[in-house]
A and B are shown apart, each in its own frame.
Chain A
Amino acid sequence: MTDDEEPGIDVDEYDDVWVFVEEHAGDVMPVSWELLEEGRKLAEKLGDELVALVIGEDVDEIAEEALARGADRVLVADDPVFEPYRADPYGEQFRAMVEEYKPSIALIGGTHTGRDFAGRVAVPAHAGLTADVTEIDVDDDGLLQARRPAFGGDVLATILCEDHRPQMATIRPGVFEAAEPTDEADGEIVEADVVVEEADCISEVLEREVGDTADITEAERIVAVGHGVEGDLEPARELAEALDAELAASRAAVDEGWIDGARQVGQTGKTVRPDLYVAVGISGAIQHLEGMNKSGTVIAINNDPNAPIFDHADYGIVGDLVEVCPDLADRLEGELQEVVQ
């Protein structure tokens, strides 16, 4: 920055690590607690406080839970204008709180809502925002190092934000372990001034339907379906039952409406790390691989011997999933029974 430009900010005025607690009608997204745990580590290294940001309506219980899960302080903006989530009131509220409290770091879950929110608030704050982060740390100067896969996961890029605050990142769900609640919560809850009014809002939620809220990130075994299942989940479901596995999917299967988006694995879905990942009728696009690479053993079932997924699997079988899945399920039912007993 040169001197004749608008004066840069004094980065030393900014401290504390903020975690945005994303809630929908009282339900907190699991990624928020994952960030609280990671945020704790950063705050300890920096000697800063860990602050949970809770925006919504009637969120007392969530604020208490954030304390129990390790926040030193919870900043609460409680008002009907914040339920359900809308970008414009949340954005305006966040901007005002950043101005007042000056956080150094702000972590936000990389959900649809989180990315919608982060993109909006980073602009008025002139904050540095890194998307889809999978590793975070602070360097010796206390600068946030936000790492994210680039070039199809071939490279891990470290993104820095040296002269602006807060240093913001959206973080992919499922990458970190969640903070567990403890009994020794001794932090404080602070009510923030609510700066927005319904009359100023430029959007209106007309309808809201809640769908599948499955959390596939904790599953130990996963059977994932792709476009190859052509709308019939039955063979894969049979296999999943035999393996006692959760059902997940590629984006192509989600886009077709065959399965809910909560179960999508990949760059724009979730990162999973089961012991066993069975890819059924999935080609193995880079965006999909990014979400499943942390799995233990990977098995591929695909009728195209040249499908890239075979290069990213430990074991594969070339065959029609309609035959392979039930056949496998039958055999397993016998054998697994013995193992379990």
Chain B
Amino acid sequence: MSWTIAVGVKQVPDDDEVGIDPDTGRLDRASAPAVMNPPDREALEAALTIRDQVGGEVIAVTMGPPNAKTVLEQAVAMGCDDAVLVTDRAFAGSDTWPTSLTLARTAEALEADVVVCGEETTDSSTGQVPPGIAAHNGWAQLTYVEGVDARPEEDRLAARRDVEGGHELVAAELPVVVAVAYGEFDPRPAGLHRKIYAENDFEPTQWTAEDLEIKEEVGLDVSPTSVGGMETVDPVDRKGEVVDETDDLAEVLTEVSA
């Protein structure tokens, strides 16, 4: 028994390195270095855990510009067997509908049994892509997953989900799309040899929209949503006073609570 496990990883601006634009005093994401979306590192860990349980192959997938290749190298360094870069100008302007279509077709082309994703991306933070992939393919979905339990003898994957006011254990038939809850899978460090291989010898497979036969179904034109405007929000004005004594704080608290 062995499963093919695809993992969606995305390149995003590094939140920790986002500087302040000196002219506007606002966050300047454009100049931040690009990194792997932190929740996707945990998705990789979950995928590798499933591989540890059933055997098989883990294939990292990203849809993005050619330079997103670096996140695939990181994925391979962490232990992925292979990686696919889905890149095409036709994808420009895609919202979550065509993005999840693209990843759904990629997963089909790979004959994936499981697709693992992060909870959400730090740049678009929708969390819509994993259910979207599942919906496009008519597959099962398990979101906010905190633990995975592969059951190859049943052709199912069971998972512990974090739901409102509790937890549930759900078993889903393969193929299934999993989105892992952020903060639950501690990513394993990349091995040195693997890292050298990933950086020097590894080349990801490259697919275009045409390869996936979705050229007319992606990009700005088929995206149902569009940005109607951006308003800057004035930061909340806080006093920012630091007091030295607990007494002073007690006084403030008494006033506010009165």
Residues of A at the B interface (CB closer than 8 Å) are: 1-2, 5, 22, 24, 29, 84-88, 91, 111-113, 115-116, 118-124, 126-132, 145, 149-164, 202-213, 221, 243-244, 251-252, 254-255, 260-262, 267-268, 275-276, 278, 286, 293, 296-299, 305, 310-319, 324, 327-328, 331-332, 335-336, 339
Contact = CB atoms under 8 A, between A and B. Distances in A.
Interface in B200-258: 216, 221, 224-233, 235-236, 238-244, 246-250, 252-254, 256-258
B105 interface: no
B150 interface: no
A203 B168 contact: no
A262 B246 CA distance: 30
Given A159-B227, A297-B256, A132 B243 contact: no
Contact of B120 (A29, A120, A268, A316): A268
Nearest to A114: B164
Contacts of A331: 246-247, 250
Nearest to B181: A255
Q: Is the interface of A mostly helix, strand, loop or mixed?
A: mixed
Contacts of A296: 256
Given A120-B135, A126-B224, A155-B233, A327 B246 contact: yes
Interface stretch (B1-9, B74-82, B85-93, B139-147): B139-147
A152 B166 CA distance: 28
Given A203-B171, A299-B252, 12 more contacts: A24-B163, A87-B131, A88-B141, A116-B141, A122-B224, A132-B126, A202-B139, A203-B141, A203-B172, A209-B167, A315-B242, A319-B246
A119 B252 contact: no
A107 B61 CA distance: 32
Most chain A Cβ neighbours within 10 Å, of B129, B130, B166, B258: B166
Given A112-B143, A157-B227, A158-B231, A207 B168 contact: yes
B249 A204 contact: no
Given A127-B224, A332-B254, A315 B239 contact: yes
B222 to A, nearest CB: 8
Nearest to B120: A268
Q: Is the interface of B mostly helix, strand, loop or mixed?
A: mixed
B85 to A, nearest CB: 24
B38 to A, nearest CB: 11
Contact of A251 (B100, B125, B183): B183
A276 B230 contact: no
Given A116-B144, A310-B242, A159 B230 contact: no
B225 A310 contact: no
B182 A161 contact: no
A265 B166 CA distance: 17
B119 interface: yes
A81 to B, nearest CB: 15
A297 B18 CA distance: 28
A147 B34 CA distance: 26
Contacts of A116: 131, 141, 143-144
B225 A317 contact: no
A98 to B, nearest CB: 13
Nearest to A242: B253
A314 B241 contact: yes
Question: Considering the complex of A and B, which 10 residue pairs feature the smallest CB-CB distances, nearest first?
Answer: A119-B131, A255-B183, A128-B224, A123-B135, A164-B224, A131-B126, A213-B165, A331-B250, A160-B228, A211-B166
Contacts of B228: 145, 158-160
Contacts of A113: 163-164
A3 to B, nearest CB: 13
Given A268-B182, A276-B256, A87 B165 contact: no
B51 interface: no
A47 to B, nearest CB: 22
A157 B136 CA distance: 27
A86 B162 CA distance: 13
B26 interface: yes
A252 B38 CA distance: 14
A128 B225 contact: yes
Interface in B136-188: 136, 139-144, 158, 161-173, 182-184
Contacts of A286: 15
B114 interface: no
A254 B119 CA distance: 15
Contacts of B238: 298, 311-314
Given A119-B135, A203-B171, A130 B15 contact: no
A186 to B, nearest CB: 31
A332 B253 contact: yes
Contacts of A210: 165-166
A332 B250 contact: yes
Contacts of A209: 166-168
Contacts of A202: 139-140, 172-173
A119 B164 contact: no
A154 B256 contact: no
A256 to B, nearest CB: 8
Nearest to A139: B228
